Amino acid sequence: MWFDSHCHLHICEEDDAVERVLERASQRGVKEMVSVGIDRASNARSVELALAHDGVYASVGLHPNDSADWSDEIAAELDDLVRKPRVVGVGESGLDFYWDKAPRDAQEPVFRAHIALAKDHDKALIIHTRESMDEALGVLEAAGSPPRFVFHCWSGSEAQLARALEMGAYVSFAGNVSFKNAEPLRAAARLVPPERLLVETDSPFLTPVPFRGKRNEPAHVALVGEAVAGARGETPEAIAALTSRNARALFALQ
């Protein structure tokens, strides 16, 4: 059984009925997933989907690229949503210095607000980084990380990985770990302790080989897991069991 620790069902369903997306996932052994919100509309939809479908959970937050939209109203809305049943995470939040769609000085306060929200409600924090890993680690160190947090779609260096693990992070790998030129990611996957390892699709993005170039969906998390298994010299079955157990621990579903 696989657990897709990070997907965006609200986008996946734009091309297909969510029931068919979930059925294909079930056929590939994907029984649980977290649908991650990134703005007000997707937060509400993720919660709605989680309440309507067994095996689907929700996380709510404001993506760093939208940090300029942060307001007291959004903060209050998140504080309300995170209290709802089947909401297991805060985020995705973090820092994104690749696109620079939001000013850098606007992103850090919003990231800190998400850290505080995760602590206040004892929820897992889902962290997005792009060309910002050192800065994100610095914010976490200064603010104090929540008890449970994950760097989704890991992209950092070996030194940054050691720093994140020292802080207690979970580390999740997405479909790009299967790409031909992704040996650094596969090397990182070998370094993550078994109890901190997760897999995800980040669907509909980052579709793994052999479907790269097509739209991603939770059913493909098994392919991500197979790539991680190959990198670590383990069986896909062992990685499925391990990462599912870890996801349930991260999101306090034990």
Please list the alpha-helical segments (H only) found in the chain.
9-12, 18-27, 40-52, 72-81, 104-121, 133-143, 158-167, 183-191, 221-232, 236-250
pLDDT over threshold 90, residue 74: yes
Q: Return the pLDDT at 156.
A: 96
Task: Specify the pLDDT at position 114.
Answer: 98
Measure Cα distances from 44 to 3, 47, 77, 122, 195 in Å: 22, 5, 10, 20, 31
- Mean pLDDT, to the nearest integer, of 188-201? 98
User: What pLDDT is attached to residue 15?
Assistant: 85
**Average of per-residue pLDDT across 29-43:** 97
Which of these, 27, 39, 30, 32, lies nearest to 70 by C-alpha position? 39
What is this structure's pTM? 0.97
Confidence of residue 254 (pLDDT cuts 50, 70, 90): confident
Q: Indicate which CATH number applies to the domain containing 93.
A: 3.20.20.140
Q: What is the pLDDT of residue 101?
A: 87
What total number of domains does the chain contain? 1
pLDDT per position as a tens digit, 132-161: 999 999 999 999 999 999 999 999 999 999
Look at residue 185 in the predicted model and tell me its pLDDT: 98
Structural domain span for residue 164: 2-250
